[in-house]
Structure 1
Amino acid sequence: MTQPYPGQYPQYPGPYRPMPYQPAPIPPRYRPLRKIALVSIVLMGLTAVAAVIQSALLWSSYDDVKRFVYGLLSEEEVNRGIQSIAGTGPLLNLVSYLLMGTAVAFLIWLWQARENTDFLHSPLAPRPGPPVDPARGLHRRAQGWVVGSWFCPIVQFWYPLEIVQDIATASEPLEQPGATRTGRMRALLYGWWASWTGFWVILIGGGGIAFIGFIVWVVRLVDAADAADATGDYVDIYGLQDFMVRVALAVNIGFTVATVLLIVAGIAASLLFLEITRWQQDRVDVPRVTDVVRPPEPPQYAPRYNNPGPTFPSYGPRP
């Protein structure tokens, strides 16, 4: 384009160059959390019930496991036990299925609750929160850590707790600043995280220890068989049988403790869900017009002078 005439476009010192297109930022919005919170709570309850059933099945089969290890079961009993295990396989895996469903619902609630805090502290909120320190920010972790913190090694032991703490702090009622630091909320936060972490440590660590114990048992059995072949003696497997029985007992005890921790974590998380959901909903709920108390009407003052107006004489009927 040619140079504009002097005074034609004084705001452009040179040829016109269009500014690059920059899309407008999407304003934060509020999403109600009550439905997804109730779905998560129901899934947590079903997971706890399934874990209790699985723990009861483990203890009910403990005597059969001991008899199997000591070789006291007949062939018919062994076949019946194998068919029973094959038939109850889906039931034994029910805890895993429900845990995955609960994890999905929990992450949806957590993501939406994090986005709601941005709305609550924006000018779009009916009652915006206090100004945020730009140096610290509203949250200690970026939005992506809401999901990634649960799967990233090492940091998964404290990042999720920090994310939930920041969401709770940003959702505090305006009338109760510091509500997250009360004894009840701190007990819910740390009780939930300690029981949840303990559940996974026992579940994963105990499963690994049981697997290693089985490998050790197989190795010791092979060594005993080789020693018996070299000396011509019988294979002494009584000590190995006792070892496997102890491993089975440890598995039952570990899963029972993990089930108790899962129940505690579910109760604490459910109370946290309800509390944070209520806090956020109260901050966006504004009184309706019909609920606003109107001021009383001003009193109607009488006129200063009581002048009814002119009167006219009364005339009788005309003749």
Structure 2
Amino acid sequence: MHSGPPPGAQPGGYPGAQPGPYGGMPHAGFPQPGMPPAGMPPGGMPPGGAWQGGVPGYAPPMQWTPVQPLRGLATAVSILLGVVAAIDVLSAIAFFRRASLFGDLRDGRLFAFSEADDADDLVEASLGLLGFGALATAIVFMIWFHRARSNTEAWYAPQATMSKGWAIGGWFIPLANYVIPMIVANDTWKRSDPQPAGPMGRPASKALLWAWWIVFGLSGILFSISFGVRETKEDVEDGEVSYLDYIDGGETGDNLAGVSSLLRIAAAVLAILVVQKITKWQSQRLGLEPVGPIAYAPGMPPGGPGFPAPQPGGLYPGSHPGSQPGHYPGSQPGSQPGAQPGAQPGWGGQQPPPAPPTQGPDLHKH
């Protein structure tokens, strides 16, 4: 057993972790792995998690919440999504080619029977490949999806609408699978975003998230409709539909399926961007990647490492009259539970969390 952190470990962080995003000061939105201000159990910190709470007057007693890595799964999901997108290129070509043959048949243009057979074979081959690719991608994506949602339990974040179990279960409920996964994705997005954790931080836009879900949903709806508009050869032979209706249905169905394939290509690209974005945010939350500039709320000028500039007299914009210099917007003197006389300014009468220890915990304790 070692008495100190492994080589390369930063005080109060994982090995190789970047300094804190606000000039090294710990913040409730950014758990400091290995740096609990109080209540560390004997033997130090187990690897792979984050501490919650432990700041008197701000949070309940500290507890350990495990965090699982996302980077490897995110890479696997991105590769599989790229493979599915490539298969969809073949699928779009196959459907549009066969749709053109249906059009030639309706207009009385001649073509060889071998062309029709080749078109059918290409459609069947692309659908078979797409089935295998989509199944493998769905399995890995749902593992990543559930892990990403579970990780958000390890830090302070906005309240979730649905529990983490719906990250998997929501995909298997007919019709509801067009709604529930998006709710979970929205929870994961807003709870992973590190910007709101900073003072005056503004949440990132959800345009990318919504674009992915809308395009993905439309592709699935069009693909289902493409099968519903077709007529079968058996119906033609039984006299239930005309041969012309069979041709028109086949052409319309193949064109819709081709458009669905193009939408799935776009959805795959957008999904890769969403996966990489959330994965990067969670790495920043854990201090494994540096945090970029904070996006401030409207009317809040930056002033220092992650804090807005105070107004004349030392008050932050929006402070209540009578606030002490350095108080956050909306704070009142001594308004926080557990306020102590002589507290440092900037914490609403509450002492800030202590600085990281000079010697990290034992990461090799089992």
Residue deviations 1:118-169 (CA, integer Å, cap 9, x gap): 12x1xxxxxxx36x6xxxxx32212221111111123222111110111111
Q: 1:177–1:259: structure 2 CA closer, same or farther, 3 Å change rule?
A: farther
**What fraction of aligned residue pairs are identical, expressed as a percent?**
22
Answering whether residue 134 of structure 2 is matched by residue 99 of structure 1, we say yes
Answering whether residue 170 of structure 2 is matched by residue 149 of structure 1, we say yes
Among candidates 8, 26, 49, match of residue 86 of structure 2: 49
* Matched residue SS, 1:28: strand
Distance, in Å, in 1 between the alignment partners of 2:128 and 2:137 is 14
Greater shift in the superposed pair: 59-68 or 275-284: 59-68
Residue deviations 1:11-46 (CA, integer Å, cap 9, x gap): xxxxxxxxxxxxxxx943122212211211121121
Answering whether residue 184 of structure 2 is matched by residue 163 of structure 1, we say yes
Answering whether residue 261 of structure 2 is matched by residue 259 of structure 1, we say yes
* Matched residue SS, 2:171: coil
Equivalences for 1:6-155 in 2 at 5 Å?
27-65=64-102, 78=113, 82=117, 85=120, 89-119=124-154, 121=155, 129=156, 138-155=159-176
Equivalences for 1:157-236 in 2 at 5 Å?
157-173=178-194, 174-175=197-198, 179-180=202-203, 182=204, 185-210=205-230, 213-214=231-232, 218-219=234-235, 221-223=237-239
Give unpaired runs (5+ residues) of structure 2: 1-62, 291-366
Distance, in Å, in 1 between the alignment partners of 2:122 and 2:185 is 40
Give unpaired runs (5+ residues) of structure 1: 1-25, 122-128, 133-137, 225-238, 289-319
Shift of 1:191: 0.9
Distance, in Å, in 2 between the alignment partners of 1:221 and 1:274 is 52
Residue deviations 1:72-127 (CA, integer Å, cap 9, x gap): 989xx6478658855874444111111111111110111111121112x1xxxxxx
Whether the 8 Å CA contact 1:62–1:248 is kept in 2: the answer is yes
Q: 1:241–1:178: structure 2 CA closer, same or farther, 3 Å change rule?
A: farther
Distance, in Å, in 1 between the alignment partners of 2:289 and 2:242 is 73
* Matched residue SS, 1:149: helix
CA RMSD of the aligned region, Å? 3.3
Whether the 8 Å CA contact 2:91–2:123 is kept in 1: the answer is no
Residue type at the aligned position of 2:65: P
Whether the 8 Å CA contact 2:74–2:144 is kept in 1: the answer is yes
Shift of 1:240: 2.8
* Matched residue SS, 2:198: coil
Distance, in Å, in 1 between the alignment partners of 2:93 and 2:161 is 42
Distance, in Å, in 2 between the alignment partners of 1:109 and 1:177 is 30
Whether the 8 Å CA contact 1:55–1:252 is kept in 2: the answer is no
Distance, in Å, in 1 between the alignment partners of 2:250 and 2:186 is 39
Q: 1:179–1:52: structure 2 CA closer, same or farther, 3 Å change rule?
A: farther
Bigger radius of gyration: 1
Distance, in Å, in 2 between the alignment partners of 1:87 and 1:60 is 9
Residue type at the aligned position of 1:271: L
Residue type at the aligned position of 1:36: L
- Structure that is richer in helix per residue: 1
Match of 2:283 in 1: 281
Residue type at the aligned position of 1:260: L
Residue type at the aligned position of 2:144: W
Say how many residue pairs are matched: 226
Shift of 1:188: 0.9
Q: 1:83–1:164: structure 2 CA closer, same or farther, 3 Å change rule?
A: closer
TM-score of the aligned structures, taking structure 2 as reference length = 0.54
Q: 1:201–1:97: structure 2 CA closer, same or farther, 3 Å change rule?
A: same
